[in-house]
């Protein structure tokens, strides 16, 4: 069906040359439309002739659509407002720098895996001592970040963690604060990034 719709689109822009078996193609748009509909529902009643440029375009469209599904990456950050989080609260980053594949939802702070494969995630944070952040895949912790309470009084520290994990389509990844009064500094010092390295 998708292929038939591609053919119909290519016909509309004049890339395809159509010649149904035993039927003269009329210039009447309604007749062409009816013939395309019959092709979609019963493709044995027509012959589709592609010249070399149309075939090349169709192959490009096909390969581009499959590649697009496999290009998954996102990079988000805190832009203008500090976060003070309670225990178990998800970090919601408000600045979406990239979101190829539309896996990251800035309303929830959760990345939903659109394509199964091996992913790399990086989280970094400028935070006060006492912070605990966890990288969660579904409900399982796969990485943690921490600044000890005894570290340099009240000054902030830049912390970072990288994990590489296998995900199934539909898995959820998020950054969760571990203790009450977790502080995360804004102005693009703190962020969360993920990228599909390769598919399974």
**CATH code for the domain of 175:** 2.60.120.40
Helix (H, G, I), strand (E, B), or coil: what is residue 69? helix
Between 81-95, 138-152, 172-186, the lowest mean confidence (pLDDT) is in 138-152
Do 50 and 101 lie in one domain? The reply is no
Q: Beta 182-184 vs 132-137: how paired, if at all?
A: unpaired
Mean pLDDT of 14-33: 49
Instruction: Show which of 48, 69, 90 is a domain's final residue.
Output: 69
Do 46 and 88 lie in one domain? The reply is no
Q: Give the pLDDT of residue 1.
A: 43
Please count the structural domains in the chain: 2
Specify whether the CB–CB gap between 172 and 189 falls below 8 A.
Answer: no
Between 33-42, 56-65, 71-80, 126-135, the lowest mean confidence (pLDDT) is in 33-42
Q: Note the pLDDT tens digit of each residue in 97-138.
A: 999 999 999 999 999 999 999 999 999 998 888 889 999 999
Do 59 and 85 lie in one domain? The reply is no
Do 103 and 168 lie in one domain? The reply is yes
Mean pLDDT of 2-31: 48
Instruction: Show which of 51, 69, 87 is a domain's final residue.
Output: 69
Residue 119: give the domain boundaries. Answer: 72-199
The first and second tokens of residue 69, run together, are 């599904």
Torsion of Cα atoms, 55 then 56 then 62 then 65, to 10°: -140
Instruction: Show which of 17, 37, 69 is a domain's final residue.
Output: 69
- Nearest-CA neighbor of 187 among 160, 161, 162, 158? 158
């Amino acid at each position: 069906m998708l292929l038939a719709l591609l053919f119909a689109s290519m016909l509309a822009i004049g890339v395809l040359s159509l010649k149904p078996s035993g039927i003269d193609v009329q210039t009447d748009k309604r007749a062409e439309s009816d013939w395309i509909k019959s092709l979609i529902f019963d493709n044995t009643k027509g012959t589709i002739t592609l010249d070399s440029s149309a075939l090349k375009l169709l192959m490009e469209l096909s390969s581009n659509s499959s590649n697009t599904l496999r290009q998954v990456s996102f990079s988000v950050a805190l832009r203008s407002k500090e976060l003070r989080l309670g225990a178990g609260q998800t970090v919601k980053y408000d600045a979406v720098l990239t979101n190829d594949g539309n896996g990251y939802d800035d309303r929830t702070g959760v990345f939903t895996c659109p394509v199964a494969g091996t992913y790399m995630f990086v989280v970094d944070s400028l935070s006060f001592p006492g912070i605990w952040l966890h990288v969660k895949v579904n409900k399982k912790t796969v990485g943690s970040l921490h600044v000890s309470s005894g570290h340099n009084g009240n000054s902030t520290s830049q912390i970072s963690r990288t994990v590489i994990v296998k995900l199934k389509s539909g898995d959820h990844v998020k950054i969760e604060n571990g203790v009450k009064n977790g502080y995360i500094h804004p102005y693009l010092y703190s962020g969360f990034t993920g990228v599909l390295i390769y598919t399974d």
